[in-house]
Amino acid sequence: MNIAIAADHGGFELKEILIKHYAKQNLILKDLGTYSEESVDYPDISKKMADEILSKKSDLGILICGTGIGISIAANRYKGIRAAILYNSDVARLAKEHNNANIAVFGGRMMSADDCIKNFDIFLNAKFEGGRHDRRICKLDID
């Protein structure tokens, strides 16, 4: 499974922590930037990630901004992207089981790194249930 990660300046610090944490577990996250705390625009970061997922270069993504809100709004404008803020452990599980989210989102200024890691691990280990949820997901992409 190939996983990419990207953040704006509000999520830069958390991105670095997650990259280091998962590298220790032999899970290399593909870093799409940003590469410093210099201010950038979160829609540009979401576009980069949406292109990465929709072109199937990576199977899953992690996006981080200050709150998680702007970067998820922007990502969810791309057809085929299902970005979900994993703000607690139940939501992390359901984001996979029911929504088959392909991007996990965190608020770098709102959540502890430990909670993000815990929630992302739950998300990774959960399985999409399909069935009625698949039917609903198919209704998400509107022309």
Q: Which is nearer to ligand RB5, 18 or 122 (CB)?
A: 18
Torsion of CA 54, 34, 82, 47, to 10 degrees: -50
Tell me the residue type at 73. Answer: I
**Which position among 46, 58, 66, 111 is part of the footprint of ligand RB5 (CB under 6 A)?**
66
Binders of ligand RB5: how many residues, by CB under 6 A?
8
Q: Which of 3, 4, 6, 10 binds ligand RB5 (CB under 6 A)?
A: 10
Whole-number Cα distances in Å, 123 to 10, 16, 31, 142: 23, 20, 20, 26
Active site residue 9: no
| Of 62, 65, 94, 105, the one binding ligand RB5 by CB under 6 A | 65
Peptide bond into 67 cis (omega under 30): no
49 makes contact with ligand RB5 (CB under 6 A): no
Question: Rule CB under 6 A: is residue 103 a binding residue for ligand RB5?
Answer: no
Six-digit token string for 37? 């705390």
